[in-house]
Amino acid sequence: MAAAAMMVLILVAVYLTMLAYYFRYLNDFDGRVKEFLKRKKELIRAKHQLQKDVGSRDGMEAWLKDAKDVLEAVTTLQDNIQEKKRRLTSRLNLIQHFRLSKKIEEEERNINCLLRTYWENKFLSSSCSDPSQSLKSALTEIVKAMEDNSKSVISVCGQRGAGKTTLAGVVGKVAENYLKFRVVRLVVSQSTTTEVVQDTLAAFLKLKFKKKTEKERAEKLRLKLESEQGILIILDDFCKELNLKSIGIPDQMRCKILLITSDTTVCSSVGSSKEIQLGALQKDEALKLLEKSLSRKITSGISEVASDVAEECKRSPLAIIILGRALRGKGLDEWKEAFRSLNSELKDGESEEVRIVYRSVKLSYDHLKDNETKKFFSLCSLFPKNDPVAPQDLIRYAWGLGIFEGIDSIEKVSKKVKGVIENLKNSFLLLEHEKEHVQMQNGVLEAALRMISKDESFLRIKDVVGLWERPNNEDLESCSAISYVASKPKKLHDGEFRSEKLQILFLGGEGCKTISNEFLQHLKALKVLALRHGLLSANALQNLTNLRALHLEHCKLNGLSSLGKLKTLEILSFRGSDITELPDVIEELDNLRLLDLFDCQKLHRIPLNLIRKLSRLEELYFRHRNFEKWWSEEKSAEGSNPTPSNIISPSSLAIEPLKYQQSIDKLFDTKSRPSKVSVFVQNQSKEWNQTVNYLHRDHIVYHDNHVVPYLVQGVQTVRVECCDKFQAVFQDGFILRGMEDNSNSLLSDLTSLELEELSQLSWIWYGQTSNVSLQNLRTVKLKNCHRLKYLFSTSIAQRLEQLETLEIHGCNKLKQIIAETRDDLAVNETIHPSLLRPLCFPTLTTLKITGCPALEYVFQITKGQILPKLTQLEIGSCLELAQVFSFKDAADREEIEVPQLEKLALKNLISLKTFCSENCSIKLPSLEKFEVGACRRFSNDAMSKVIEHCRLKEFCLIKVGNQLCGEIFELPGGYVLSTMEKLILKEINKLEAIWKEPTQIVTLQNLTRLEVFKCNKLRTIFSLLHARNLLQLSHLVVQRCKDLEQIVDWDQISTSTSRLKPVCFPKLKEILIENCNNLKSLFPVSVAHLPKLETFRVNRALKLKRIFTHEGEAKVKSAQDIELWFPELKLLSLEKLPDLVTISPVVYACVFPVLDILVKKECPSLVTQFTKAESKPNVYAKTKENSLPKEENHSKLGRSATFHELPTNNGDIDWSRGMKMD
């Protein structure tokens, strides 16, 4: 009975399990179908995106094929579902629904697998150009673990420089885009406290902590996390000092925790449910990365030591990249020295992992170009871990420390700093960070701090004085730099810092205590002081008599009476501080060059005469809304409000009167102030670098949606970037105010106007233009101003008599550069007809226009000589451009001349038919360089008109259409191209011959460089007649010409031509033949005497049998070898030539006396042998009739010499001079 009952229970359990299994597929069938179709759309988008993105498509061909197959299966299933649903509207068929649900789950798994691979590849490829297998495997493991509901805590451990931080960023992006997680990422360090982590997570979860203990905060955070799902918390650089439970992160929850660490004990201490080891690179990956860092292929001469260097770096990506960048262009001795440095014994307290990165950084540091760069690198190492740094801060600190001696201008130092930053980024010692910041990698930072602690030359830091530890007095005497920045710094006592050598001091962190005079009185050598979130007492600065840069950012200031004693101060920043009034003592700072008042929201008064007394001031930073406060102060002081009556504010711009402008005018004395003062203005609602990056010299004020030059007579340069609300650059109402006496010379000093990323810009000038001069405007540059329809009115254009450079890029709606009708203008202009004159731009030298798809022509011109000074004209990607110049009322056969045009480039102009109107002819007598690319409607006849009267030196044709095919140089009257020096032909698929024969007479006596790429129907490059005149040819490059049979048409050789001048290339230095699979030979042996040839490369020519041949000549018979000398050849490369049999015929021997590199790879049929004389530098290439070398056969080559065959590896040769011979 009991057994029967047990059997019933088992059967019931089995039955219930089966029911649960079935109901899992039947539950919410419509919802499952909806989610399934949603995932299908995601896969379609991913497939389309990948097909568009060529850079990400490498290695994803199989993915695209799988995606196509899956989408076909999904579409079939979708049709099946629709058909079944149509049939089942009256009665539910559970079995069919079950089968469909199961099929949906199967296809959904396939889709998810493809999507996971897509997102992993997309973000990993964008974060590192060639990710390692270890990085790919770790990412896949992490994402799979995140999809597994049983795993909540995932830890990743790897050595320094292995790419853990990169991996963390990629995981975050994949989680957001593929798994639809919300992601919070926190970089922790030794100074990161539990409270800081709690605050960050609370802000992300929108959880508010009132006054609670750490334990109470942890409990509240735990309850919140347990109720959430779809959240990923990434804790990068996690250390064992932090406890997840004490933070409030539970062990088991529906959210995911990703811990990134270098400490292997962390994984076990936190109880990870999934541990992933990020390993080192594979050996071949390490060498590939090293080659990439070198920007060149590793030659055989250094390959062995390079491999040893990579192994000594323990295949750490960071160490390899840094070393590779440092050893670019270095010789074998430098490589050996690098290996010795890496291979030296461990020092006391030095771990293997620390040694790897430290020694690579040290070597790179030693290879930096100059001491200035080394000093600047030391400065960068003082900033906290994972803390991006703004270049403008680095500029100020570098100025204060005097790193760039002899430079007496902040602007010049700024340019110098930008160059040094680029140098350090190229060395991989600094990284680019978002929002125009830079950052030092953690491994590099740790190595730099350790290295600088031993460096006596500039900034010295004891090991104990790091970024996260409070220094002790006994360690400070020898220090010249201290950075004490912590989220919750310990209490600092008066008199704690004592150092006679300290030059730079960073102090910061929430809750920093009051800084008193006693605290700073022993730091008399201090040059730079940066205090953040601190309290500064009134007399705290009085002893810092050598201070050059003072940054008081987000500080509370209890009076600044001691500020006037800092006579050497040159940089002063109150950014974000609670200052209410600029103290009068600032006028005593005679050397002040920079004053920063950004984010001083409480600042309401600047004394009238203060700024104008700062005679050396170069840069002033402020928040533009402060003007209103300053104006209110001045109004109450003066008792009047001189608002001008002639302010014009068009309703379409919705601009309020600029009430505070006169207050700003009063800041400066126009008579006594220096000629250059930069005023940088911060927008109220956005960060500086998101609004106006740089408003260049001389008092430019940014106001809402236009620019106001409030000292009009002094405006020289206007540069505006990234201002979303800009509608007009200049508005006449604001300019006219106060200018009645000089109404005919508005903007007369303006020399440069640069506008970029102004999405709402509709006008450069809004309003009447009769009072606008622009007599000195020389440069106008515009980029991505998409609403702009024209640049200038006709009246403005006629006054641009000094304009030299005009560049326009990416203006989508631009139809005309000069508005031709009143309908195109913002307002009707009132101009007397007698003032109008023909348009000619008498000084314009450079004109560049790209990415303006609505532009129909460049200028409309009447007749005669135009643009008399124009030397360079470039037009590209203007899809509607049908002609360059439109000629109004031109007579038939009118001749138009642009006398000084030297360079002309026409690219991607799909509508371009002619250069000018068809009834006109164009004359370009000075044209030297002409480039035509992707202009498919530009005909041979149109091109002939352009070059008919010029003397071209460079000619480039790329992707031209059928209009320009057949013969390129089919010009009237047997035109002679005797001046051409460089000819480039690319991707002209229908081109059959370059030169028309036999009636066409073309001499190429000055041609030095010829490049032919992907001209698939071309059969020969030169006729025999042309080849005999190539006396100056130095470079010959022919690539991917599918049908090419001969370089020179040797079939024309006959006994009747024997009296003609022989073919020779006396100055040819380079030959590159690649992917020309129909070539069978290159040259006859009569041409093989190439006295200047230095580089000879032939790659991927599948049918090539011989380099030099008897073809077209009688075969030579000789008892002794005939030498073919190549006296200057240094590089010979023969790769992937499966049919190549010989270099030269049997009786010939090629002699290479100065050959440095010889590469022969994948040439299985080649029987020519390469040997080297033991006592001579000569290398020989000789083909024997029996293909067996015998020493007596070398009698002609060197009777007393001993010859050795060059070493091979499976038939391949990779030889360089200096290699040992077996």
In whole angstroms, what is the distance from residue 774 CA to residue 735 CA?
13
Q: pLDDT digit string (tens) for 1004-1043?
A: 788 999 999 999 889 898 877 777 778 899 999 999 999 9
How much helix, strand and coil, in percent to the nearest 5, is found in the chain?
30, 20, 50
Sign of CA dihedral 113, 115, 116, 122: positive
Does residue 780 have a pLDDT over 90?
yes
What is the crossing angle of helices 2-26 and 94-127, to 10°? 60
**Considering 127, 144, 177, which residue would you say is the last residue of a domain?**
127
Residue 1123 domain-assigned (yes or no)? yes
**Considering 573, 604, 622, which residue would you say is the last residue of a domain?**
573
One domain for residues 472 and 554? yes
Query: What pLDDT score was predicted for residue 674?
Result: 40
Q: Alpha helix (H) ranges present in 1077-1173? A: none
One domain for residues 1133 and 1166? yes
One domain for residues 484 and 527? yes
Lowest model confidence (mean pLDDT) among 536-550, 587-601, 953-967? 953-967
One domain for residues 361 and 372? no
> Residue 1117 in contact with residue 1148, Cβ under 8 Å?
no
CATH code of residue 428 = 1.10.10.10
Identify the H or E element spanning 627. helix 626-638
DSSP class per residue in 170-213: HHHHHHHHTS--EEEEEE--TT--HHHHHHHHHHHHT----S--
Burial profile 835-846: b = 16 or more Cβ within 10 angstroms, e = fewer:
eeeebbbebbbb
Q: 215-224 contacts: CB < 8 A, separation 24 or more?
A: 215/246, 217/248, 218/194, 218/245, 218/246, 218/247, 218/248, 219/248, 220/248, 221/247, 221/248, 221/249, 222/248, 222/249, 222/250
Does residue 53 have a pLDDT over 70?
no
Q: If you ran DSSP here, which 8-state letter would residue 1059 be given?
A: T
In whole angstroms, what is the distance from residue 940 CA to residue 228 CA?
69
Lowest model confidence (mean pLDDT) among 520-534, 623-637, 774-788, 887-901? 623-637
Residue 682 domain-assigned (yes or no)? no
Report the helix count and the strand count for the chain, using DSSP H and E: 26, 56
One domain for residues 362 and 420? no
In whole angstroms, what is the distance from residue 602 CA to residue 529 CA?
23
Query: What pLDDT score was predicted for residue 1043?
Result: 92
**Considering 441, 456, 471, which residue would you say is the last residue of a domain?**
456
Q: pLDDT digit string (tens) for 916-933?
A: 877 778 889 999 999 999
Q: Report residue 1221 as tokens.
A: 């011979």
Query: What pLDDT score was predicted for residue 467?
Result: 34
Residue 542 has phi, psi (to 5 degrees) of -65, -20
Residue 651 domain-assigned (yes or no)? no
> Residue 1181 in contact with residue 1153, Cβ under 8 Å?
no
DSSP class per residue in 5-42: HHHHHHHHHHHHHHHHHHHHHHTTHHHHHHHHHHHHHH
Sign of CA dihedral 489, 494, 496, 500: positive
Q: Alpha helix (H) ranges present in 88-149? A: 94-127, 133-147
For residues 652 and 248, the model is more confident at 248
Selection from 300, 291, 328 nearest residue 1159 by Cα = 300
Residue 346 domain-assigned (yes or no)? yes
One domain for residues 1090 and 1185? yes
> Residue 273 in contact with residue 151, Cβ under 8 Å?
yes
Q: pLDDT digit string (tens) for 250-280?
A: 776 678 888 888 777 766 666 666 788 888 8
One domain for residues 316 and 425? no
- Taking CA atoms, 697 is separated from 394, 408, 660, 680, 694, in Å, by 21, 17, 21, 9, 9
In whole angstroms, what is the distance from residue 442 CA to residue 156 CA?
17
Query: What pLDDT score was predicted for residue 237?
Result: 76
Q: pLDDT digit string (tens) for 860-871?
A: 876 666 889 999
Q: Alpha helix (H) ranges present in 436-480? A: 442-452
Does residue 676 have a pLDDT over 50?
no
Selection from 761, 769, 680, 754 nearest residue 717 by Cα = 754
Name the one residue in this structure whose structure tokens are 């409000």: 641
In whole angstroms, what is the distance from residue 1080 CA to residue 937 CA?
36
Query: What pLDDT score was predicted for residue 394?
Result: 92
Q: Reduce the DSSP state of residue 620 to 3 states and report it.
A: strand
Average pLDDT, integer, range 672-690: 41
Q: Report residue 24 as tokens.
A: 């899992």
In whole angstroms, what is the distance from residue 1152 CA to residue 556 CA?
77
Q: How confident is the model at residue 1073 (pLDDT cuts 50, 70, 90)?
A: very high
CA dihedral 1005, 1006, 1008, 1014 (to 10 degrees): -70
Residue 321 domain-assigned (yes or no)? yes
> Residue 902 in contact with residue 952, Cβ under 8 Å?
no
Neighbouring C-beta atoms of residue 1016, cutoff 10 Å = 15
Q: pLDDT digit string (tens) for 1158-1198?
A: 999 999 999 998 988 777 788 989 887 654 344 434 444 44
Residue 498 domain-assigned (yes or no)? yes
Q: How confident is the model at residue 649 (pLDDT cuts 50, 70, 90)?
A: very low
Lowest model confidence (mean pLDDT) among 191-195, 328-332, 980-984, 1132-1136? 191-195
One domain for residues 379 and 506? no
Q: Report residue 503 as tokens.
A: 């030059």
What is the crossing angle of helices 391-401 and 371-380, to 10°? 120
Selection from 294, 287, 296, 429 nearest residue 366 by Cα = 429
Q: Reduce the DSSP state of residue 465 to 3 states and report it.
A: coil
Cis peptide, bond prior to residue 650, ω within 30 of zero: no
Question: What's the pTM?
Answer: 0.58
Q: pLDDT digit string (tens) for 651-673?
A: 222 222 233 333 444 444 444 44
Residue 684 domain-assigned (yes or no)? no
Does residue 1099 have a pLDDT over 90?
yes
Query: What's the structural domain count of the chain?
Result: 5
One domain for residues 374 and 362? no
For residue 406, the enclosing domain spans 368-456
In whole angstroms, what is the distance from residue 140 CA to residue 143 CA?
5
For residues 832 and 174, the model is more confident at 174
HSE value, Cβ hemisphere, 13 Å, CA-based, for 615: 4
Query: What pLDDT score was predicted for residue 696?
Result: 35
One domain for residues 440 and 549? no
Q: pLDDT digit string (tens) for 352-395?
A: 667 788 888 888 888 888 889 998 998 888 887 777 888 889 99
In whole angstroms, what is the distance from residue 482 CA to residue 719 CA?
38
> Residue 205 in contact with residue 224, Cβ under 8 Å?
yes
Give ∠ CA 1134-1135-1139 in degrees, rounded to 5. 90
Average pLDDT, integer, range 1033-1062: 75
Q: Report residue 299 as tokens.
A: 């030659």
One domain for residues 398 and 426? yes
What is the chain's mean pLDDT, rounded? 75
CATH code of residue 561 = 3.80.10.10
> Residue 278 in contact with residue 135, Cβ under 8 Å?
yes
HSE value, Cβ hemisphere, 13 Å, CA-based, for 764: 26
Strands (E), 454-525: 481-485, 504-508, 514-515
Residue type, 1044: L
Q: Reduce the DSSP state of residue 920 to 3 states and report it.
A: strand
One domain for residues 474 and 424? no
> Residue 338 in contact with residue 327, Cβ under 8 Å?
yes
Identify the H or E element spanning 215. helix 214-227
In whole angstroms, what is the distance from residue 1097 CA to residue 1080 CA?
16
Residue count (the chain): 1222
SS (H, E, C) 256-307: EEEEEECCHHHHHHHCCCEEEEECCCCHHHHHHHHHHHHCCCCCHHHHHHHH
Residue 180 domain-assigned (yes or no)? no
